[in-house]
Homo-oligomer: A and B are copies of this chain.
Amino acid sequence: MKQYTTLKDVAKLAGTTAATVSYVLNDKQDRYISEETRRKVLEAAEKLEYVKSIGASSLKGKSRKLIGILVPQFENQFFTRIVVASEEVFVKHGYDLIICNTWDNPEREKAILNRLIQQRVDGIILTPTRNGTENTKLLRKVGMNMVVVDRPLPGVKDYFWVATNNYGCGYIGTQYLISKGHTHIGYIGWNSDIQDLQARRRAVMEAVDSNSIPIENLHIVEGGFSADEGYRLTQKLLTEHPDISVIFYGFNVQALGGVKYLHDQNIQIPKDLSVLIIGSPEWIMAGNNCFTHLDMNDLELGKKAANLLLDQIQKGEEIPFQHIIQDCSLVEGTSVRDNF
């Protein structure tokens, strides 16, 4: 069986005790250590290839140096980037990151959160499932540090939240389309029961309305969160409403399938149809178009969440709850043409 070198092993070889070894290796200043002893300890530790057990030391109240992060689907580049950016921050501060894919399944989320408590992680970053509020109750009870990212925690007042201005995304995008002369607009979205994401659709509707464009000119179809669904929804939208001059994709995963449909139908972008996308998957620069899109600055989101969590961990309960809402920015590509 696997056997790790312990403090006692090192102490025996160095001719001293575990306590002294601990002091030396942790480089504590509050105890006198002779140069001779220090040398012998370091040599022994080196020779025996001692590696401390964080698990054991955390029993004595030390930090476990572990963070958990839960995302619904981390092959979605939006979340991949959030994870990458936060990992970067955490590693820099000596924390390891446990990553968990919830697949937006509340039971799975619940099980994962329980396991993370078992691991006694120092904090958790999560994008909650639709049952997140219920599932995170235990976290609050045990006083777990937590930062919610992207989606909110409905019904909860005091918590840390880092997110995109979803309403803003929808509004800015629609306003832009209208400014380019588009008056017949299709919007494709996700029929999720997550309130905050519905803000995108709401913003589109309100932007259309506030520009005195008849609401009948706006056609909204919504469906599942996948490329295949994007394909299907695009087909449906164009079949039912061939008069639209632009499709506004609220979710990049669906947009990928949609763009595939347009290609299959030999519909040229932007000659035959303009396309606007919320999000910045890497493929927006591939193909024959650099797509016009709304960038959510995913990396910054991850970084902010990580720093906020570290703040909590380091300063304890003293810091006030915050909601950090990041605006998105419109990046012009070549996929939206003037339509006057």
Interface: A282 (CB within 8 A)? yes
Q: How far is the CB of A49 from chain B (nearest CB, A)?
A: 6
A55 contacts B119, C-beta separation under 8 Å: yes
Q: Which residue of B lies closest to A52 (CB)?
A: B118
Q: Does A273 contact B (CB under 8 A)?
A: no
- A144 at the B interface (CB under 8 A): yes
Residue of B nearest to A114 (CB): B51
A315 touches B (CB below 8 Å): no
Inter-subunit contact B64/A74 (CB<8 Å) = no
Residues 43-99 (chain A) with a chain B CB within 8 angstroms: 49, 51-56, 58-59, 64-66, 68, 74-75, 77, 80-81, 83-84, 87-88, 91, 94, 96-99
In the assembly, what is the distance between CA of A87 and CA of B100, in Å? 7
Most buried by B among A53, A227, A283, A286: A286
Partner pick for A263 among B66, B84, B287, CB 8 A cutoff:
B287
Contact status B144-A2, CB under 8 Å: yes
Give complex CA distance A36, B290 in Å.
69
A219 within 8 A of B: no
- A122→B138 CA distance, assembly (Å): 27
Give the Cβ gap from A195 to chain B, nearest Cβ, in Å: 27
Question: In the complex, are the beta carbons of B91 and A84 less than 8 A apart?
Answer: no
Q: Are B290 and A287 in contact (CB-based, < 8 A)?
A: no
Q: Is the CB of B54 within 8 A of A120?
A: yes
* A316→B54 CA distance, assembly (Å): 23
Alpha-carbon separation in the docked complex, A107 to B136 (Å): 37
Per-residue CB proximity of A93-117 to B under 8 Å, as 1/0? 0101111110000001000101111
Q: Is A321 an interface residue (CB 8 A)?
A: no
Q: Kindly list 4 other residue pairs between chains A and B, CB separation below 8 angstroms, not including A53-B118, A96-B115.
A: A66-B98, A75-B84, A259-B287, A263-B286
A118 in contact with B287 (CB, 8 Å): no
Asked whether A156 is an interface residue with its Cβ less than 8 Å from the other chain, the reply is no
